[in-house]
Structure formats: C-alpha cells, structure tokens
Amino acid sequence: MKRKFTGLAALLAIVIMVFAACGGGDGEQEKETAAAKVPKDFALEGTWVDETSQRASMEITAGDNGQYDVEISWGSSATESTVWTFGGEFNREEGFLYYKSGRKIIETTDEEGNTSEEVKYEDGSGALVFEDGAMLWQDDKEGAGDECRFVRAE
C-alpha cells in the first residue's frame, strides 16, 4: 500500500509542476515577459533594413494618437519595386504592431523616368513583431514577410 501512495504522490507532484509551468494562471506572467522584452526607451520610428535579403527596407513614422505609418519597399529590379503600406498602433506590452487595410503597390519606372503605380490589393493584414531588437514581419495576406528580419539601418 505504501508503494502505491508514493507513486500517486509523485504523479500528483508532476501534474502540479506541469500545470504551473504551462501557465495555469491568468496570463500575467506571460504579459510581464512580453513587456520585459521591449525596452522602455525603444523607438519604433526610423529606417529598418531586412538583414536576410538585403533588398527590402522599412520606414516607420509616428502618426497621430499613438499610431504608426509603415512603408516596406522591396526592389524587384532596377525598374520595378513592390511597396506595402499600412498603419497600426504598437502594443508595447505584447511587442506587436497589428495592422489591417494594408496596401500592396507595384511601382514601375520607364526609360524616361516616369513612375506608374498598380495597386494589387488594399485588404492586407498582419503584424510587426519585436524580437531581440529586430522587427519580424508577419504578412497574413500572402506571406511576403516570412523571411524578413528588419534591423535598424546604420
């Protein structure tokens, strides 16, 4: 009988540890961890470059009421660029800037230097995610940011 009790006590102890480690609480610990990863003096505004492709850049400007405007440019060739624009509010607690109504535009320049734009869509959504001093781009519409890791331009 003593052996069954010891085994049951050990099993109960494991269940309690797993429950505690997996966030059986109200999520406050996860919120504190997310907030801790975004430094208090972190400024989102500025120019960022994709360290993976080295062909994409991102410009973030502060808008009104805590909103930010974002423009991501990908140089496809000497005469064509793809540009995504969107706006959103940076949630410092979560480390995310969520967006909706994102636009994708193809900009083409002809031999005379004239530029034309073709709007591909205006219903993009996704997020910029703060991670270790960089911004990752999660594009829900077409996965355009899957390989992008933006770091501050020097």
Top-confidence residue, 116 or 10: 116
Residues 7 and 51 grouped into a single domain: no
| Interatomic CA distance for residues 39 and 37, integer angstroms | 6
Burial level of 75, CB count in 10 A (0-12/13-18/19+)? middle
* Cα radius of gyration (the chain): 22
Q: Has residue 90 got a pLDDT over 80?
A: yes
Structural domains in the chain (count): 2
At 3, the pLDDT band (50, 70, 90 cuts) reads low
The one-letter code for the residue type at 151 is V
The residue behind tokens 């997996």 is 22
Residues 82 and 146 grouped into a single domain: yes
| Interatomic CA distance for residues 75 and 80, integer angstroms | 7
Residues 50 and 11 grouped into a single domain: no
| Interatomic CA distance for residues 103 and 72, integer angstroms | 10
Residues 139 and 86 grouped into a single domain: yes
- This prediction has a pTM of 0.75
**Do the Cβ atoms of 59 and 71 come closer than 8 Å?**
yes
Residues 31 and 44 grouped into a single domain: no
* Alpha helix segments (H runs only) across the chain: 2-21, 28-37
Residues 16 and 62 grouped into a single domain: no
Residues 31 and 52 grouped into a single domain: no
Residues 147 and 115 grouped into a single domain: yes
Domain containing residue 140: 40-152
Q: Phi and psi of 7, rounded to 5°?
A: -65, -40
Q: Has residue 1 got a pLDDT over 60?
A: no
The residue behind tokens 């010891």 is 6
Residues 71 and 134 grouped into a single domain: yes
Residues in the chain: 154
Residues 74 and 32 grouped into a single domain: no
Residues 10 and 55 grouped into a single domain: no
Top-confidence residue, 1 or 58: 58
Residues 128 and 148 grouped into a single domain: yes
Per residue in 50-84, pLDDT (tens digit) is: 999 989 999 999 988 889 999 999 998 889 999 99
